[in-house]
Structure 1
Amino acid sequence: MRDPRFWQHDGIVPTLLRPLSAFWRAGTCIRNLTITARHPGCPVFCVGNFTVGGAGKTPTAIVLFELLTALGRTPHFVSRGYGGSILGPHRVDPNNDRAAQVGDEPLLLAHHGPAWISRERFLGAEMAHAAGADAIILDDGLQNPSLIKDCSFAVVDSHYGIGNGQVMPAGPMREPLLSGLEKVRAIILIGDQTPKFITDQPASVPVLRAQIEPINGADFANQKVMAFAGIGRPEKFYDSLKQVGAEIVKTQDFDDHHVFSKHELISLRTQAEQLGATLVTTQKDLMRLPMESRDGISSLDIRLAFDAPDQLSTIVKTVLANG
């Protein structure tokens, strides 16, 4: 599902949907009151966001993993496993599990470090701790009340911001901005823009700026490519390809977390061949393709680079020092 356009601005449709947003908020309140939050016994770092859709949580979680590892910790990822069939708790096996079982994001994370999926987030964190984790990186879950977090980050796409700032379904927000800001230690702003809500809340929480950097961009420089993506905001992927000098001759968008059929892959390959182009997609989309279906399809690999890495390091060290 793609974000509806009216989520990006105020207007008649968001106004008409606001009563339904009140029901969404009421449901969230009831859920928070009826669930007892528990702590797994080791620090929990949550990487979440205020809105639905892609913002950059996965590369942020990977940076946190690398930082915690460099500080001598043994972190494990814990995720809901969206898009997968396994309820968990289950430790993801990157060599044998498939995205249809565990979800594309946990499968990608498992290529970097130990990753668990669990519909019940606390049980996943508890299992990870029992398996040797002395720090948990919770991929998503800012609004999940079952697990006590020691430190939460809200990842924000600087170009999208928070849309019209309205709670679903009137807008893209998972909760009102003020309640979200109360939960986070810092905002991680990805991109070179400054959304209005940041300038409106200058003293609320620290803002850590970061940029998406291609890792293998040289592979696509001056190359004709046909790009396809089934992520929240595919235009970010296409922009990254342009930045590395790729000549995009065609793009094809799919719904977020789309499961590609054999027919679709045949069609994509046929079109790319007719255009004399290399077929390229995102890392997460590649995770959703069976190994036997990946021949001839490349991915643009990315990483997150912080403008001031010491800011993130200071926050993490403070949390660890406080137990």
Structure 2
Amino acid sequence: MKMRPPSFWQQPPSLATTLLTPLAGAVRLQGQRRLKKPASHVAVPVLCCGNITVGGTGKTPLTLHLAHHLQANGYNPHILTKGYSGRSKQQRLVLPSDDPIDCGDETILLARQAPTWRGKNRVQSAQDAIAHGADCLILDDGLQDPSLYKDVSILVIDGPAGLGNGLILPAGPLRETLDSALSRIKAAVMIGKDCHSLSKHFPSHIPLFKAEFSPGPEIRDLVGKQCIAFSGIGRPEKFFTMLKEMGVTVIRTLSFPDHHLYTPRDLHRLSQLASLPGVTLVTTEKDAVKLPQDFIKNIKIITVDLLWHDDTATPYIVDQLFPKTL
């Protein structure tokens, strides 16, 4: 069973963080050494959507959004991912019809948008993608992986969650410090309200674009209705809050760990809730890829996209990748 992040990651330094500080120091040094390794260049531009914290920040929605924008402008992006949570170790092209248990839930979502290559060896995935016609590559995660040279790196931040207690794993949720990441990125995207005043830490030469999660049109069918929402994403409360802000009456919520694989017991419990009179069961598109088709017929699936505060955000990012054509 997957564990949820410890509560002290979101709290001021404590005895737990003090005890873990030596280990966090070792993790930091290991990361610094790893970043000094030489990177392999490939024949097409590479865009990385990464973060510096453990857990969901919005990398995958941003990856999907940018892939759609590139396709709309005539490009053929392929997506590279390690396919976190999938059981298969095979390095290959993932099909939308593949089993999310083998490939990972987010990988299936990515494959529905653009050709998606899954595997630990990102350089090999890049070469395979180029051999199959990719004219640009998007990395879903990988900011701390130096193996593949990145032409453009975008840092994704969850505004409400911030950087937690600001400490490195395992004392805190950080993979690396913000200062370290700032030296390698071209822009940053903050999703949600800047509850921790992180904007002031970004230098003027690095644009910080802000966005919100925006639900798909199917949300209109739920306005004014009583719903029970369930989700197993990085921060399920983000999904629940979005529903409430759109006028959905959420009478109960059920949170599961990120990438949770729903068991027969889970499905039985959820089916009982779905059968309650006047109640609609609601979940995310990421959760839905792991649910049986006969179960999906009885629930409402909400898709999301990014709503930018600044309409120039997406063109700016793509312009960094193709400066002479857009």
Q: 1:252 to 1:311 in 2, by over 3 A?
A: closer
Q: Please, which of 61, 64, 67 is the counterpart of residue 62 of structure 1?
A: 64
1-structure distance, mates of 2:233, 2:115 = 24
Contact 1:272 1:278 (C-alpha < 8 Å) held by counterparts: yes
Distance 1:115 1:208 in 2: 26
Q: Output the CA distance in 1 between the equivalents of 2:232 and 2:113.
A: 22
**Structure 2: segments with no counterpart, 5+ residues:** none
Tell me, in whole angstroms, the C-alpha distance in 2 between the residues paired with 1:291 and 1:274.
20
Go from structure 1 to structure 2 and tell me whether the alpha carbon gap of 1:322 and 1:52 turns closer, same or farther (over 3 Å shift): farther
**Any residues of structure 2 matched to 1:1-323 within 5 Å, and which?**
1-12=3-14, 13-33=16-36, 35-95=37-97, 97-203=98-204, 205-215=206-216, 216-274=218-276, 276-321=278-323
Partners of 1:43 and 1:134 within 8 A in 2: yes
Q: Which stretch shows the higher mean deviation, 216-225 or 269-278?
A: 269-278
Tell me which amino acid in the other structure corresponds to 1:146.
Answer: S
Q: Is the 8 A contact 1:208 1:312 kept in 2?
A: no
Deviations 1:96-136 (A, max 9, x none): x0111111111011111211111111111111111000010
* Structure 1 Cα separation of the partners of residues 203 and 195 of structure 2: 11
The one-character-per-residue Cα deviations of 1:212-246 (angstroms, maximum 9, x if unpaired) are 11112102111111111111111000011112221
SS of the aligned residue for 1:179 comes to helix
Asked if the contact 1:42–1:134 (Cα under 8 Å) also holds between the matched residues in 2, the reply is yes
Conserved? CA contact 1:181–1:204, under 8 Å: no
Offset of residue 194 of structure 1: 4.9
Deviates more, 1:281-290 or 1:201-210: 201-210
- How does the TM-score come out when normalised to structure 2? 0.93
- Letter aligned with residue 15 of structure 1: T
The amino acid across from 1:119 in the alignment is: K
Q: Deviations over 1:4-30 (max 9, x none)?
A: 221123222223321110111122234
2:273 aligned counterpart, secondary structure: helix
Say if 2:281 and 2:298, in contact at 8 Å, map to a contact too: yes
Q: Please, which moves more after superposition, 215-224 or 187-196? A: 187-196
Separation in 1, partners of 2:239, 2:307: 16
Relative to structure 2, which stretch is displaced further, 65-74 or 143-152? 65-74
Root mean square deviation, CA, Å: 1.8
Amino acid at match of 1:166: L
> What is the alpha-carbon distance in structure 1 between the residues aligned to residue 307 and residue 117 of structure 2?
25
Partners of 2:41 and 2:88 lie apart in 1 by 23
- Does structure 1 retain, via aligned residues, the 8 Å contact 2:84–2:104? yes
- In the aligned structure 1, how far is the partner of 2:200 from the partner of 2:232? 32
CA displacement at 1:303 relative to structure 2: 0.5
Q: Displacement of 1:87 after TM fit?
A: 2.5
Matched-pair contact (CA < 8 Å) for 2:47–2:321: no
Q: What SS is found at the alignment partner of 1:62?
A: helix
- Give the AA of the match of 1:159: P
Deviates more, 1:108-117 or 1:11-20: 11-20
Give the count of matched residue pairs. 321
Asked whether the 8 Å contact 1:87–1:117 carries over to 2, the reply is no
Contact 2:54/2:175 (8 A) holds in 1: yes
In terms of mean alpha carbon deviation, does 270-279 or 55-64 score higher?
270-279
How far apart, CA to CA, are the structure 2 residues paired with 1:316 and 1:288?
Answer: 32
Cα distance in 2 for residues equivalent to 1:43 and 1:256: 31
The answer for unaligned runs of 5 or more in structure 1 is none
Q: Distance in 2 between matches of 1:60 and 1:319?
A: 15
Q: Could you tell me the percent identity over the aligned residues?
A: 39
Distance 2:195 2:231 in 1: 26
Residues 153 and 184, structure 2, Cα contact 8 Å, conserved in 1 = yes
Whole-Å separation in 2 of the counterparts to 1:99 and 1:290 = 11
Once residues 151 and 324 of structure 2 are traced to their aligned partners in structure 1, the CA distance between those partners, rounded to angstroms, is 9
Q: For the structure 1 residues 121 and 293, does the alpha-carbon distance in structure 2 shift closer, same or farther, using more than 3 Å as the test?
A: farther
Alignment check: 8 A CA contact 1:58 1:139 kept: yes
Q: Tell whether the 8 Å contact from 2:110 to 2:116 is kept in structure 1 after alignment.
A: yes
Tell me how far apart the structure 1 counterparts of residues 226 and 213 of structure 2 sit (CA, whole Å): 22
Aligned-residue offset at 1:266? 0.8
